Amino acid sequence: MAQVPQTFFDALAVRSWCGLALDALGRAREEIDAINVYPVADGDTGTNLYLTVESAAAAVEAVFEGHEAGGNPGPGPGPGPTLADAVHAMAHGALIGARGNSGTILAQLLRGMAQVLAGDETAGRADGRGLRLALRQAADSARQAVAHPVEGTVLTVASAAADAAGAAEGDCGAVARAAHEGARAALAETPDRLAVLRRAGVVDAGGRGLVAVLAALVATFTGETPRDLHARVDAGAGPHRDAAGCADGAAVPESEGPAFEVIYLLEAGDTAVARLRERLDRLGDSLVVVGGDGLWNVHVHVDDAGAAVEAGVEAGRPYRIRITHFGAGDVHTTGAGRAPGERAERAVVAVVPGEGLAELYTQAGATTVLARPGEPPASGELVEAVRRAHAREVVLLPNDAELRHTAAAAAEQVRAEGVRAALIPTRSAIQGIAALAVHEPGRRFDEDVVSMTSAAGATRYAEVTVAERQSWTMAGICQAGDILGLVDGDVAVIGQDVTATAEAVLDRMLAGGGELVTLVLGDDAPESVAAHLEGRVRAGHLAVDTVVYHGGRQGAVLLIGVE
């Protein structure tokens, strides 16, 4: 879709910027990964920046979709999301989705901008002056978040962008252009400030990503995309893969560096986080702590990963904990940087909505990615799961129609790493179970994919869930609290009782015949519903078998499949 240039910063401009920045980082991801030499040469800065912006963009889209579902599509202080709504969502999405040091610093840059742009909750838009102030706050807050700032990194590029914007006159387009040019000039000078970049013949990878994000800001306000600076400053030089680094603004380790990267989200107060910073700074390096208002994203490189997590437990409640062992080759590298050891020939990677189903899939040999209610996985999580599977060939089961594009992006990325990948467009975990049931790793890859695709396609799926709000459906108007029966994604039954609604849905599905009924119970399902439905199948369809699984906290009260 063509982007309409904006002359001021409002909610629509935030939405456009996120989309354009995601596109820009998607195009530049491999280039940025390839020049990632500081301070850990893990080849993932472009990917981390992409995943961070992907999370920010998804959060902004959710805000717009929420208003559109309520009949209020317009931006501004009236109907629809305000500028404050949009920038808060952008900053929060980036914070919870930040990956690596580079992504964590970008999240703080966006948070700093949001603090200024959302300062007046009644304002529907910001002008050039507001953007200048936002870019200044972004650069300053990012620098404060890094324990030991180093020049020649993304921090330098951000400060240069803010300086140039501060000297600019005019509307948001003029300010954005100035910020981009200032950042671009500073990026070209990063090899002069950091010897590791000069030896590798590249510019700073994190700074390169920020320039792409600022180019998207220019395009948002002018409709024109500025030209990029070439990432390599010496055409004959290539990235020095033995350098110790991770393309961010933290200090260069004096030795080979700590063995582990530890990242987690943390719920804690300001005082506890201040103590945590001091403790983690003594434990390791590359320390970045961003966030505020009780929610923080913590990133550090340490030799004692357990101690870093324990420090988080003492400070508050850490979760989404990720520990990467650099020495074991677990870093997100491409191609030859894979972990040593024999690869499996073929693996299945599946997204599942509940812990019970995750256990079921795991027992069947699949590598799983848990999709918690309201927290769909990003493409990077699927890529990480493929890497854990460590196979030459991978079959992806998204198990959700809305995750098809996410899974496709993951498949494209792992193919670039030498993995043969196929995506089966399963729209429900029920279809994924059917596909997994006929999976045979011993046969040819194409034959296995065809067989799994056929089994999934021959499985009708349904779910019984509780309506969250009043809305129009294919079956009429539902009220909050009504029990909805969805068949193949569309509301077919509106009821007041879970068992009665499930029975009506099952009868509709079996009207066209079937051989096997699969029931997956959520935590909120009545204890008697499975036995009731099994009895109904036996009474009316003698040749049809029924299997029952427990999915745990899976969002829907009940999942139903008919093969």
Return the residue matching tokens 């354009």: 20
The pLDDT confidence band at residue 339, using thresholds 50, 70 and 90, is very low
Indicate the Cα dihedral angle 273, 279, 283, 288, nearest 10°: 30
Q: Give the integer Cα–Cα distance in Å for 184 and 180.
A: 6
The pLDDT confidence band at residue 336, using thresholds 50, 70 and 90, is very low
Specify the pairing of strand 367-370 against strand 490-495.
Answer: unpaired
pLDDT of residue 4: 54
Is 180's pLDDT higher than 50?
yes
Q: How far is CA 340 from CA 155, 245, 303, 329, 390, in A?
A: 35, 21, 21, 7, 10
Q: Is 227 exposed, middle or buried (0-12, 13-18, 19+ CB in 10 A)?
A: exposed
The pLDDT confidence band at residue 243, using thresholds 50, 70 and 90, is very low
Which pLDDT tens digit goes with each residue over 490-539? 899 999 999 999 999 999 999 888 889 999 888 888 889 999 999 989 88
Is 478's pLDDT higher than 80?
yes
Is 473's pLDDT higher than 70?
yes
Q: Give the integer Cα–Cα distance in Å for 178 and 155.
A: 17
Segment among 48-52, 260-264, 318-322, 411-415 with least mean pLDDT: 318-322
pLDDT of residue 393: 94
For residue 107, give the 3-state DSSP assignment: helix
When pLDDT is averaged across residues 429-436 and rounded to a whole number, the result is 92
Q: Give the integer Cα–Cα distance in Å for 248 and 37.
A: 10
- Please choose, from the candidates 95, 99, 98, 94, the residue with its C-alpha nearest in 3D space to the C-alpha of residue 44: 99
- DSSP 8-state code for residue 340: S
Q: Sign (positive/negative) of CA torsion 302, 108, 46, 26?
A: positive
Q: Tokens standing for 419?
A: 């993995």
- Report the b/e string of 467-481 with b at 16+ CB within 10 A: beeebebebeebeee
pLDDT of residue 5: 61
Which pLDDT tens digit goes with each residue over 111-138? 999 999 988 655 678 999 999 999 999 9
- Residue-by-residue DSSP string for 32-64: HHHT--SSS--S-HHHHHHHHHHHHHHHHHHHH
Higher pLDDT, 168 or 340: 168
Q: How far is CA 445 from CA 213, 384, 413, 451, 469, in A?
A: 39, 22, 19, 10, 45
pLDDT of residue 562: 93
For residue 418, give the 3-state DSSP assignment: coil
Higher pLDDT, 115 or 541: 115
Q: Tokens standing for 219?
A: 């395009």
Phi, psi of 560 (to 5 degrees): -130, 135
Count Cβ atoms below 10 Å from residue 445 Cβ, excluding itself.
Answer: 16
- DSSP 8-state code for residue 273: H
pLDDT of residue 517: 92
Q: Give the integer Cα–Cα distance in Å for 5 and 176.
A: 13
The pLDDT confidence band at residue 374, using thresholds 50, 70 and 90, is low
Q: Give the integer Cα–Cα distance in Å for 424 and 407.
A: 9
Strand residues in 249-373 grouped as ranges (E): 260-267, 284-292, 295-302, 317-325, 344-352, 367-370
Q: Are 323 and 260 in contact (CB under 8 A)?
A: yes
Q: Tokens standing for 251?
A: 């200090």
Q: What does the angle CA 291 – CA 263 – CA 160 come to, to the nearest 5 degrees? A: 50
Count Cβ atoms below 10 Å from residue 18 Cβ, excluding itself.
Answer: 28
Segment among 191-195, 227-231, 262-266, 438-442 with least mean pLDDT: 227-231
Q: Tokens standing for 72?
A: 């209020």
Check whether the bond before 39 is cis (ω within 30° of 0): yes
Q: Give the integer Cα–Cα distance in Å for 207 and 210.
A: 5
Specify the pairing of strand 367-370 against strand 420-423.
Answer: unpaired
Q: Are 245 and 38 in contact (CB under 8 A)?
A: yes
pLDDT of residue 406: 85
- Residue 263's identity, in one-letter code, is I
Which pLDDT tens digit goes with each residue over 202-222? 899 999 999 999 999 999 999
Phi-psi region of 47 (alpha: psi -120 to 50; beta: other; left: phi over 0): alpha
Q: Give the integer Cα–Cα distance in Å for 136 and 2.
A: 30
The pLDDT confidence band at residue 322, using thresholds 50, 70 and 90, is confident
Phi, psi of 152 (to 5 degrees): 90, 15
- Per the prediction, the chain carries an average pLDDT of 84
Q: What does the angle CA 309 – CA 92 – CA 21 come to, to the nearest 5 degrees? A: 115
- Tallying the residues shown for the chain, one arrives at 563
- Residue 482's identity, in one-letter code, is D
pLDDT of residue 502: 94
Q: Tokens standing for 400?
A: 């959700």
Which pLDDT tens digit goes with each residue over 70-82? 555 454 444 678 9
- Residue-by-residue DSSP string for 439-486: --TTS-HHHHHHHHHHHHHT-EEEEEEE--S-EEETTEEE-TT-EEEE
pLDDT of residue 254: 39
Q: Are 6 and 12 in contact (CB under 8 A)?
A: yes
Q: Are 150 and 157 in contact (CB under 8 A)?
A: no
Q: Sign (positive/negative) of CA torsion 136, 50, 181, 85?
A: negative
Exposure on the CB side of residue 138, measured as CA atoms within 13 A: 32
pLDDT of residue 465: 92
pLDDT of residue 117: 92
- Residue 370's identity, in one-letter code, is L
Q: Are 348 and 367 in contact (CB under 8 A)?
A: yes
The pLDDT confidence band at residue 255, using thresholds 50, 70 and 90, is very low
Q: Give the integer Cα–Cα distance in Å for 72 and 191.
A: 49
Specify the pairing of strand 558-562 against strand 460-466.
Answer: antiparallel
Beta-bridge partners for 290: 297
